[in-house]
Amino acid sequence: MSCEKKWIFVLLFVMALMMFSFCWYNMRSITWHPSLVFHCNSQPTINYVNTSSQFDLLKQDFLHRMLYEKPNALSPPRSDVLMMTPWFAPIVWNGTYNIDILNTQFHQKNVSIGITVFAIKKYTVFIKTFIETAEKFFMVGHKVNYYIFTDRVGDIPNITLGEGRQLVILEVPSYKRWQEVSMRRMEMIRDHARQRFVNEVDYLVCVDVDMMFSDDVGVEILSHSFGTLHPSFYAASRTRFTYERRQQSTAYIPTDEGDFYYAGGNFGGTVEEVYKLTNFCHNAMMTDKGNNIEAIWHDESYLNKYFLYHKPTKILSPEYLWPTNFGAPAFLKRRRFAAIPKNHNAIRNKRALRDYSRNKQKFHR
């Protein structure tokens, strides 16, 4: 063999070696599988016959550039209040969150919020102030449905609402006993959550009507499920909580259990979670009714039982339920949602008022 031919063979051998290495490099991550279709191209991706997944529909949400103060891992924004429960649910206090970040996140999800409120009998007088102040302070910039449950449709005033906000009047029966008026809210919220709210909104906020908004209440309150610290008991010991203490009641909580005393006048969460909560409370009430017992603080007692064993994922500080005649302690930086003092004689019947005052004195509320 001539020297020239020898070199041609060496060259061909080197080229074959290079091609082999190239192919090996491209195919190195392939594991052979019966459903594998291998295309002879240099695409490094592997194409399986069935490649679709629910993850293909995921959107990549990301925040735009924002300028704000850096959080400091060694310096909590508040040291005068508890900001986190032992089950890692944040407690919402002024100064602990950045509303711009939260608004951007919730706008990206295009959330809509339903707020349920009951105005039965004379309580329709509270509607005007409630809605007018909510227009100024409640979830401004987000989609809001006001769900007004009432037995007096004609008494609901016409109020002009902002863009993306609507008022839905739901006619419901009224009950004779005021305790029942308050308690049946659970059943009515539950039924409407199943039939209607689930198709219309993402979150529900369920509140008393004898209230006014006096500062911002925004998406910082939204979570899977949330409750509010009662303004009379945020600092109280367990034994002072006015939980139901009779063992015969389904709302019973022993004195060595309990995290917080939650207010009946402000709770919520996703429609599904509010359905579970209201369904539990209503069923528990019905069980008690069958046994001729009614929990001491009505719907509030059943709510407290529910939250003891289904811990809320967020807790609102008393900023979100504060009586206007309570004064403002130093830790209370804002009063956002205020209970209006009632002219009891005008708004409630006399006998009910007597029962009510008796209970209030008994429990120092």
Provide the binding-site residues for Mn ion, judged by CB under 5 A: 208, 210
- Please list every residue from 195 through 214 that binds ligand 4GW, using CB under 6 A: 208-210
Question: Nearer Cβ to ligand 4GW, position 106 or 138?
Answer: 138
Answer for the pair 299, 281: CB distance below 8 angstroms, yes or no. Answer: yes
Find the helix or strand (DSSP H, E) in which 361 lies. Answer: helix 350-362
Do the Cβ atoms of 193 and 271 come closer than 8 Å? yes
Among 121, 196, 240, 334, binds ligand 4GW (CB under 6 A): 121
Q: C-alpha 151: how far from its chain's center?
A: 27
Tell me: does residue 349 bind ligand 4GW (CB under 6 A): yes
* Contacted entry of Mn ion, ligand 4GW, none for residue 93, CB cut-off 5 to 8 Å set by kind: none
Asked if residue 152 binds ligand 4GW (CB under 6 A), the reply is no
Residue at 165: amino acid letter: R
Choosing among ligand 4GW, Mn ion, none, which partner's interface includes residue 209 (Cβ < 5 to 8 Å by kind)? ligand 4GW
Nearest to 266 by CA among 316, 222, 308: 316
Alpha-carbon dihedral 63, 68, 70, 72, rounded to 10 degrees = -110
Among 93, 106, 118, 320, which residue interacts with ligand 4GW (rule: CB under 6 A)? 118
Among candidate residues 112, 102, 122, 110, the one with its CA nearest the CA of residue 146: 112
Helix (H) or strand (E) holding 145: strand 143-150
Question: Would you mind telling me the total number of residues written for the chain in this entry?
Answer: 365
Stretch that binds ligand 4GW, among 51-59, 175-183, 251-259, 266-274 (CB under 6 A): 175-183
Q: What is the distance between the alpha carbons of residues 178 and 118, in angstroms, rounded to a whole number?
A: 12
Given the residues 220, 294, 300, 319, the one annotated as active site: 300
Please report how close the Cβ of residue 212 comes to ligand 4GW at its closest, in angstroms. Answer: 12
Give the 3-state secondary structure percentages of the chain, helix then strand then coil, rounded to 5: 40, 15, 45
Residue with tokens 């339920």: 321
User: Could you tell me which stretch among 19-27, 77-85, 218-226, 344-352 binds ligand 4GW (CB under 6 A)?
Assistant: 344-352
What track of x and - describes contact with ligand 4GW for positions 289 through 328 (by CB under 6 A)? ----------------------------------------
Binding span for ligand 4GW by CB under 6 A among 33-41, 120-128, 224-232, 288-296: 120-128
Does position 182 bind ligand 4GW by CB under 6 A? Answer: yes
Instruction: Choose the one of Mn ion, ligand 4GW, none that binds residue 202, judging by a C-beta under 5 to 8 angstroms depending on kind.
Output: none
DSSP code per residue over 5-28: HHHHHHHHHHHHHHHHHHHHHHHT
Answer with the entry of Mn ion, ligand 4GW, none that 121 interacts with (C-beta below 5 to 8 A by kind): ligand 4GW
Q: Could you confirm whether 244 is annotated as catalytic? A: no
Write down the least CB distance from residue 182 to Mn ion, Å. Answer: 9
- Within 253-292, the residues that bind ligand 4GW by CB under 6 A are 265
Distance of CA 5 to the CA centre of its chain: 82
Closest approach, Cβ 114 to Mn ion, in A, equals 19
Residue 123 binds ligand 4GW (CB under 6 A):
yes
Q: Are 162 and 244 in contact (CB under 8 A)?
A: no
- If one asks whether residue 243 binds ligand 4GW (CB under 6 A), the answer comes out as no
How far apart CA 281 and CA 275 sit, in angstroms, is 10
Which of 236, 244, 253 is closest to 318 using CA atoms?
Answer: 236
Q: Give the residue numbers annotated as catalytic, written as ranges.
A: 300
Residues forming contacts to ligand 4GW in the complex (CB under 6 A) are: 118-121, 123, 178, 181-182, 208-210, 265, 348-349, 352, 356
